[in-house]
Amino acid sequence: MLKALHFDCHEAANGEEALALLTQISRPDIVTVNWHMPVMDGIELIKRLRTDPSYQGLRLLMVSTEQDQDRIAMALDAGADDFVVKPFTEAAIGQKLIDLGVCSLSQVATSVVASRAPVRVLIVDDSLTIRSVLATTLAGDPELQVVGTAADGQIGLVRIRESNPDIVLLDVEMPVMDGITMLRELRRIQPRLPVLMFSSLTERGAKAAIEALVAGANDYVAKPQGSNLADVTARIRAEIIPRIKQLVPRRQEAADFSGGRLVPAQTPAHSPRVPRRVRSEKIAAVVVAVSTGGPSALADFLPAFISPSSVPVLIVQHMPPVFTSHLAQRLTHICNLPVREAQSGHVLAAGDILLAPGGMHMEVVKTGSTVTVGLTSAAPENSCRPSADVLFRSAAKTWGAGTLAVVLTGMGRDGFQGCEAIVAAGGDVLAQDESTSVVWGMPGHVARAGLADAILPLSQLGVEVSLRLKRRVL
């Protein structure tokens, strides 16, 4: 949005980088500051700027998931001129810019309208038929715009530079440069551009999909195939278009520009975040919920804390059968420790890292001093099987306050009710932050409800688990 308002934007990943950058550029009109950052957080950055005479009068806007009134007051007391809670609407952030005097109502109104432009899609597939059917079907949706196509990965990289897409649809097997090679090169130059991989539900397709997801693809979808054009078109509309819109959401709210103010049509209501809970109970197990963006997130998260002597780690990753077995193999290679699909009746022991099999719920059951794994084909929950809610509820019942839950990137709200049960039993919940999540659905629901006692970037979550395990192990 700031770029749409013709701001010359500069970015920094933490407070120290921001201070260094400010010495290299001309004085900005405004600095937007995130609260939770590594190295130097937003509060410390604001305090530093407010004590430096050269930045006197500089507008500082705190942007954060924090929403408790005491926390907002803390940011304002530190020197922030205003505060906006994430996730925010264009109208909400636009009004803050107007109030701070850095742009006009007409500028913001124009930007809000422009921000509803269609999602720009690039199709990279060696099949002319697939490219044609996809382009025609996507073009029929007013919220999407096909900005280019490419027959191989090498051309695809050129098209990305030329067309500046919002998302890339990418096939795996192509001549000249295959999809995974292109993806690795793309992640080197554009780590945040959403990529939706095509896959098949075969053994070979599952293995390729897992490789792509670990390499940085955001999600995968079955490649549209078939001899009946109407059926293929229907599948694209039912399966691919919704996935595109989930990975690149457009702001749907309306805004009223009358009366000299921007008024969002609807302001989301969030429950206040509860204070951080400090506990001394020993951690008996770590349970993890993850969906969209999961394989890559798990590859970063697990190696930071697992060991042959650590407490059991049980993971629900939303995936179909066949895929989860390949994910377990890939994570085993990355972690240098065995990651296995769970088997019913398995007795949990130190060092276990278990992944719920696709198509099966996983739960834990305690008998005496022994905890075993159970697998069921009960009805899906939250349209998911496996479901994190099933695992989390059983963990709360089995380990109570000894449960540490981690909710990573993912669509929907699976794991939310399970986190409620864990918190009620005295356990802890960690959630991935919005900026590092592919989709801030599952962790976002947990964070906004005040169930998480820490909301951290992916790079810090594994370290936090490790620290907690060292302080509170069995």
Residue with tokens 């054009």: 229
Query: Both tokens of residue 72?
Result: 């907002």
Q: At a CB cut-off of 8 Å and minimum separation 6, what does 242 contact?
A: none
Q: At a CB cut-off of 8 Å and minimum separation 6, what does 362 contact?
A: 314, 316, 342, 354, 356, 373, 374, 375, 386, 390, 391
324, 358 in Cβ contact below 8 A?
A: yes
Any long-range contacts for 92-101 (C-beta under 8 Å, 24+ apart)?
A: 92/262, 92/264, 92/267, 93/1, 93/63, 94/1, 94/255, 94/262, 95/261, 95/262, 96/61, 97/5, 97/30, 97/61, 98/261, 98/262, 100/30, 100/59, 100/61, 101/59
Which member of 291, 310, 394, 437 is catalytic?
A: 291
Phi, psi of 473 (to 5 degrees): -105, 160
337, 330 in Cβ contact below 8 A?
A: no
Which member of 126, 166, 414, 433 is catalytic?
A: 414
Task: Compute the distance between CA of residue 15 and CA of residue 36 in angstroms, rounded to an integer.
Answer: 10
Q: At a CB cut-off of 8 Å and minimum separation 6, what does 113 contact?
A: none
Which member of 64, 318, 326, 428 is catalytic?
A: 318
Task: Compute the distance between CA of residue 465 and CA of residue 270 in angstroms, rounded to an integer.
Answer: 27
Asked if 291 is an active-site residue, the reply is yes
Asked if 36 is an active-site residue, the reply is no
Asked if 383 is an active-site residue, the reply is no
Q: Which residues are catalytic?
A: 291, 318, 414
